[in-house]
Amino acid sequence: MGPTIIESRKPQYLTAECIGCNTPVEFLMPKKTDEPIYIECYACKQVLSIDIQFPPKGATANASSTSSNNSTPKPDSKKSSPSKPKKVTTGTDANPLETELYEILGVPTDATAIQIKKNYRQLALQNHPDKNPDPDAHEKFQKISEAYQILSDPKLRSEYNMYGHNKDVSPEGGFVNPEAFFKQQFGGDRFVDFIGEISIGRDMRDALNEPEESTVDLTPEEKAKREASANEVKDKARDEARQARVDKLVKTLVHRLNIYTEGPCDTPATKAYQEQMRLEAEELKTESYGVELLHAIGFTYTLKAKQHLGRSELLGLGGIFHGFREKGHILTETVSTLRAAMDLQQSFSQLQEAEEKADEVKKKQLEEAAATMGLRALWKGSKLEVEGVLRDVCETVLSDSTVPKAVLIKRATALKIIGAVFEAVKPDPQPPV
């Protein structure tokens, strides 16, 4: 009885062994076999270089070809062994393949997350197009932002350390627009329902995307006229955007207050509402500047609620008192914001002098100071803007002529509850260094 003959077919897959973890891997046969190919091990994600070389005809068979006279096949002495894959040069977390992103942020390859964040903030402020007149500032700001987005993510950082730019290392969904990313420093998306989109993000985007128009052939009067016209258009767009923001926040706030106003408004309902707001605040405070934003929101809510409730008490004297208190607060915050901006401007002037004198030690000290002052100035400006928007929102919600007065009083009470909860939020204790 002759041997069993098994039918063959044209191969579709090839196999190899991963040098990194010794796992057998299988992959589709490439169309071209005259040059090395690169595959990724499914087990350890190691990238392998394989030089495919097909052996002579019949060399991969376990037996010689069988003739039609049913002769017993003889073992082939030339068994082929699969080509050994050659490992592509890769790096490690301790010894990265490339260091370009670390150099962009000015940190060592073993920098901690805190170091990376600190340097990012300093460089972002120094190279922000609104603050730096250098024509290359926009491009530098973009690179700084992208470098931070990779190195601040442990997984992406590890991949970059291993493969460098040999692999597409980028955040899921692509890189965030640097202006939008910078805006995340103040509350992020979690606070949008409370404060809307802080206009600093939109202003950054508009400033960077604004086309440059040639004014070489214009007279000073024509330049002034063109600038005035452009500013008028910008002011109108800014006003419209602000009103749209207020309208949206009004609807959101009314919905949040209705949870209380549409209920019995008794002691158990009040305690339940307080607890609900407290739990929400505990989540919100973990965001960047979360505690500070909650305090700003809480202060505004409380003040506007007391102002409206006071109008129906003591002949309205309570409302007048809180109205004066509001004006005093606005004045104080405005002066504080202006001082922060002036301090930042002075810091940049000193930094420029240090650069001209090539005083590297002084320059580094001033860079750190400028970064701190810049962040403070941005926060002060953002806080002033947020409180102004929220005052308009509260005023609209508590003065709606289509709503019965009794309901407006309930709204003010609910607003006061939220304000008290938010103002009472405390940051989590920092672990000892």
Per-residue pLDDT tens, the chain, 433 aa: give them.
566 777 777 666 677 776 666 677 777 777 655 555 677 777 777 766 665 554 433 333 333 333 334 434 444 444 444 444 444 457 788 888 889 999 999 999 999 988 888 888 778 777 766 666 677 777 888 888 888 888 988 888 888 888 887 666 665 555 555 555 555 667 777 898 999 988 765 665 555 455 555 555 778 888 888 888 888 888 888 899 899 999 999 999 999 999 999 999 999 999 999 999 999 999 999 888 899 999 999 999 999 999 999 876 655 566 666 677 778 877 888 888 888 778 877 877 787 787 777 778 887 787 777 777 777 888 888 899 999 999 999 999 999 999 999 999 999 999 999 999 999 999 988 655 4
Residue length of the chain:
433
Give the separation between CA 9 and CA 374, rounded to whole angstroms.
Answer: 69
Determine the Cα–Cα distance for residues 433 and 155; give it in Å rounded to an integer. 25
CATH number at residue 144: 1.10.287.110
The tally of domains found in the chain comes to 3
CA distances from 94 to 91, 116, 149, 151, 385 (A): 8, 16, 20, 14, 45
- Are 250 and 385 part of one and the same domain? yes
pTM above 0.85, yes or no: no
Domain shared by 258 and 399, yes or no: yes
315 within domain boundaries:
yes
**Residue 251 sits in the same domain as residue 332:** yes
Residue 402 domain-assigned (yes or no): yes
Measure the CA–CA gap between 308 and 244, rounded to whole angstroms.
24
Asked whether residue 137 falls in the same domain as residue 262, the answer is: no
Domain-terminating residue out of 37, 53, 88:
88
Domain region containing 389: 245-423
Domain end call among 118, 153, 176: 176
Q: Which of 176, 200, 216 is the last residue before a domain boundary? A: 176
Q: Are residues 391 and 283 in the same domain?
A: yes
